[in-house]
Amino acid sequence: MSTNKRKQLYKIIILGDSGVGKTSLMNQYVNQRFTQQYRATVGADFMAKEVTIDDRMVTLQIWDTAGQERFQSLGGAFYRGADCCVLVYDITNKKTFENLESWKEEFKQQGCPKDPDTFPFVVIGNKSDKASERKVETEFAQQWCKSNGDIKHFETSAKDDTNVNAAFMAIAKAASSQF
Ligand code: GDP
Ligand code: MG
């Protein structure tokens, strides 16, 4: 009899304002690449990466937005079935941090998670290499995360590849924690 009924594929979705570095983070994590200029993603809705968590090999299916986050709601199909939702802001842009709340609400409404109160979110403050232009203090962001259901918080640089792996390991763990 099979004893391991745990999922092997986890759907991760990355949300946040346009320009915060969502595509860059995913590209750094999956392909170890960073470029300054981004073409809008054409065709590819997600990238897959295999990781080992707790001695289990699983696949992370990481869904990115192709620029449409600027204009419209992404629609239920994009959100549905997600195992973890990553909310990204830019540490040099306060507005992108303030908008996390509405991204979180958008996800809860559109994604219809089974238990919205315990659904795993992870918050990433990206562009930590631009410390001299910082507008969002680490402690301030941590406090927000704490009072919003104790969300895990990371600061990363997709450019320098700082903390990107650590953040995605936590994302993988959060995704698999419910199963
Ligand atoms: P998205 O719209 O959220 O997908 O953002 P992109 O990944 O397209 O990145 C927007 C811009 O920010 C691009 O010019 C990237 O090169 C730049 N960028 C992304 N991540 C970083 C980072 O960690 N540090 C710096 N300095 N620039 C970044
Ligand atoms: Mg993008």
ipTM: 0.99
Residue 126 Cβ inside 6 Å of ligand 1? The answer reads: yes
Q: Is 80 exceeded by the pLDDT of residue 179? A: no
- Stretch 139-159: mean pLDDT, rounded? 97
Nearest CA to ligand 1 atom 15: 36
> Which residues lie near ion ligand 2 (Cβ < 5 Å)?
22-23
Q: Measured from the CA of 69, which atom of ligand 1 is nearest? A: 2
24: Cβ below 6 Å to ligand 1? yes
CB–CB of 23/41 below 8 Å?
Answer: yes
In this prediction, residue 178 has a pLDDT band, given cuts at 50, 70 and 90, of: low
For residues 99 and 64, the model is more confident at 99
Residue 114 pLDDT more than 50? yes
Sheet with 152-155, edge to edge strand ranges? 46-53, 56-63, 9-15, 84-90, 121-126, 152-155
CA of 66 to the centre of ligand 2 (A): 6
Q: For the chain, report the end-to-end CA distance as a whole number of angstroms.
A: 19
Is residue 162 within 8 A of residue 169, CB to CB? The reply is no
Query: Which of 13, 24, 35 is the best mutation target for the ligand 1 pocket, counting ligand atoms within 8 Å of the beta carbon and taking the most?
Result: 24
What is residue 108's predicted lDDT score, i.e. its pLDDT?
92
Is the CB of 106 within 6 Å of ligand 1?
A: no
The residue with greater pLDDT, 49 or 6, is 49
As a whole number of angstroms, the distance between CA 90 and CA 124 comes to 8
pLDDT at 73: 66
Q: Are strands 84-90 and 46-53 parallel, antiparallel or unpaired?
A: unpaired
